[in-house]
C-alpha cells in the first residue's frame, strides 16, 4: 500500500490540504476517563459529540475501519489588508472566522480527497468528519503526525503553528501509519500564563466554559468578568495562539479571499443590522453560525470596553427597548461603564480658599 499512500498524499496536495497524516483505527481508550470527568464536572463546552464510546472507538463509526487519514488546512493569523479608517470604532472576529466558513472549506477538500481515492481503488469505504464529528480531532491529528497537542489544547506543527483546521477520514484502507512528531512545548507555558480567564490547566486540558471563545458564543447574559476580558473581540479568542513561540513568524496563506470589513466590522453599524442584512453580509463566515443576536450582544460589551462615548445615543435607544432583554441589559451595563469612566476621568475643579467651587 506504499504506492497508494504516496498517491493519496499527492491528491491531498493538489486539492490544497496543507498537511496529511495516517494512523490506525485503533481505539483512543486513554481519552475516555478525562472525557467522562469533563462531562461530569461540566468543564466541557457542551458542543461536543455526546456519545463518549463513539468518541474513542472509530469502529463504532465505520465497522470496517482500518486507517484514519488526518488532514490539516492552515489559515492566516494576519489580515492581508487592514480595514480603512472609519468613523466608528471596530470589533474583531478571530482569524478562524475570516473568509468562508472553515467547515465548508474542509468538507469540500475532504470530499475531493475522497473522490480522488475512490478513483484509485474500487474497495474504498470511508466516513468524513469536521469539528462537530464524533472523534477528537486533536487526538487523531497527534497520532497521525500532524503535530503535537500543546498546553493550549491545540495541535501545533512547526510548519503552520497552531493555525490549522483539522478533519479526518475514517477508512477501510490498510495503510502504513505515520509516527507522532518528536517536538513539543517543553518548559514553555506562555499560553497558560497569558490566558486571561485561567481556562487552561497546563496539561493540554481546559475548562472550556471559562474560555473566552466559548463565552463569546454562549447565549444569554454572561458574567461581567468575561464581558470586560473580551476587550474588542466579537467572536473567539486567540491569546493562547498569539503568545505561542511556534506561531512567531508564521504566515499561512488564506484559503479564500478575506474581507477586512468583515474581520474588523464597525461596531455601531454592526449592531443596527437586521437579520436579513446580517445574513447577507456575514452569513458565509464561521462566526455567523451563532446568529446576530449573540454577536450584537458582544458588540455592545465591546463599545463599553473601548470607551466609545459616541455610542451613547445608540446604547440609550437599546436600553429603553424591552423587546430584547439581553441586549437591553447589555446596553444598560455599557452605559453604566461609560458613565463611571467619565466620572473617574473628569478633572477635579479648583477651590477657593473658602471652599467654594470655581
Cα angle 271, 275, 276 (rounded to 5 degrees) comes to 120
| Continuous H helices in 25-173 | 32-41, 52-56, 102-118, 137-143
For residue 99, is it left (φ>0), alpha (ψ between -120 and 50) or beta? left
pLDDT tens for the chain, 358 residues: list them. Answer: 569 999 999 999 999 999 999 999 999 999 999 999 999 998 888 888 889 999 999 999 999 999 999 999 999 999 988 898 899 999 999 999 999 999 999 999 999 999 999 999 999 999 999 987 899 999 999 999 999 999 999 999 999 999 999 999 999 999 999 999 999 999 999 999 999 999 999 999 999 999 999 999 999 999 999 999 999 999 999 999 999 999 999 999 999 999 999 999 999 999 999 999 999 999 999 999 999 999 999 999 999 999 999 999 999 999 999 999 999 999 999 999 999 876 666 654 544 444 444 3
Cell digits of residue 288: 455567523
Q: How many helices (H) and strands (E) does the chain have?
A: 15, 8
> Cα–chain-centroid distance for residue 5?
31
Strands 148-149 and 155-156: antiparallel
Residue of 131, 182, 189, 203 with catalytic role = 131
**Which sign, positive or negative, has the C-alpha torsion 309, 311, 316, 319?**
negative
Q: What does DSSP say about strands 148-149 and 164-171: parallel, antiparallel, or unpaired?
A: unpaired
* Domain spans of the chain, in order of start: 2-77+95-171, 190-345
Report yes or no: 68 and 140 within 8 Å, Cβ to Cβ.
yes
Contact 114, 126 (CB under 8 A): yes
Grid coordinates standing for 119? 478513483
Cα–Cα distances (Å) from 94 to 99, 257, 325, in that order, read 11, 16, 27
Question: Does 131 qualify as catalytic in the annotation?
Answer: yes
Contact 204, 151 (CB under 8 A): yes
Q: How far is CA 166 from CA 112, 137, 142, 146, 154, in A?
A: 16, 6, 11, 9, 10
Handedness of CA 67, 71, 101, 125 (dihedral sign): negative
For 171-209, the pLDDT digits (tens) are: 999 999 999 999 999 999 999 999 999 999 999 999 999
Amino acid at each position: 500500500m506504499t504506492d497508494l499512500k504516496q498517491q493519496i498524499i499527492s491528491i491531498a496536495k493538489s486539492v490544497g490540504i496543507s498537511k496529511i497524516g495516517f494512523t490506525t483505527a485503533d481505539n483512543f481508550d486513554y481519552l475516555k476517563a478525562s472525557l467522562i470527568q469533563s462531562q461530569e464536572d461540566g468543564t466541557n463546552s457542551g458542543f461536543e459529540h455526546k456519545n463518549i464510546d463513539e468518541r474513542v472507538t472509530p469502529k463504532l463509526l465505520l465497522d470496517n475501519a482500518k486507517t484514519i487519514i488526518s488532514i490539516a488546512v492552515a489559515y492566516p493569523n494576519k489580515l492581508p489588508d487592514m480595514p480603512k479608517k472609519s468613523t466608528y470604532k471596530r470589533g474583531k472576529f478571530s482569524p478562524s472566522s475570516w473568509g468562508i466558513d472553515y467547515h465548508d472549506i474542509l468538507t469540500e477538500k475532504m470530499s475531493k480527497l475522497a473522490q480522488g481515492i475512490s478513483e484509485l481503488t474500487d474497495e474504498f469505504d470511508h466516513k468524513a468528519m469536521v469539528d462537530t464529528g464524533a472523534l477528537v480531532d486533536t487526538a487523531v491529528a497527534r497520532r497521525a503526525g500532524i503535530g503535537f497537542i500543546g498546553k493550549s489544547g491545540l495541535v501545533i506543527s512547526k510548519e503552520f503553528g497552531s493555525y490549522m483546521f483539522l478533519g479526518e477520514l475514517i477508512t477501510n484502507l490498510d495503510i502504513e501509519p505515520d509516527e507522532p512528531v518528536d517536538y513539543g512545548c517543553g518548559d514553555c507555558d506562555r499560553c497558560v500564563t497569558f490566558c486571561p480567564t485561567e481556562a487552561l490547566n497546563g496539561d493540554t486540558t481546559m475548562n472550556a466554559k471559562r474560555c473566552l471563545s466559548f463565552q463569546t458564543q454562549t447565549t444569554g447574559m454572561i458574567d461581567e468578568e468575561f464581558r470586560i476580558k473580551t476587550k474588542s473581540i466579537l467572536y473567539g479568542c486567540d491569546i493562547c495562539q498569539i503568545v505561542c513561540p511556534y506561531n512567531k513568524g508564521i504566515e499561512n496563506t488564506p484559503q479564500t479571499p478575506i474581507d477586512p470589513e468583515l474581520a474588523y466590522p464597525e461596531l455601531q453599524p454592526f449592531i443596527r443590522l437586521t437579520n436579513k442584512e446580517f445574513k447577507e453580509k456575514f452569513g458565509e463566515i464561521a462566526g455567523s453560525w451563532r446568529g446576530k443576536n449573540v454577536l450584537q450582544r458582544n458588540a455592545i460589551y465591546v463599545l463599553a470596553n473601548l470607551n466609545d462615548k459616541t455610542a451613547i445615543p445608540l446604547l440609550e435607544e437599546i436600553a429603553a427597548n424591552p423587546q430584547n432583554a439581553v441586549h437591553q441589559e447589555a446596553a444598560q451595563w455599557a452605559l453604566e461603564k461609560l458613565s463611571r469612566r467619565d466620572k473617574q476621568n473628569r478633572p477635579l475643579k479648583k477651590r477657593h480658599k473658602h471652599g467654594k467651587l470655581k
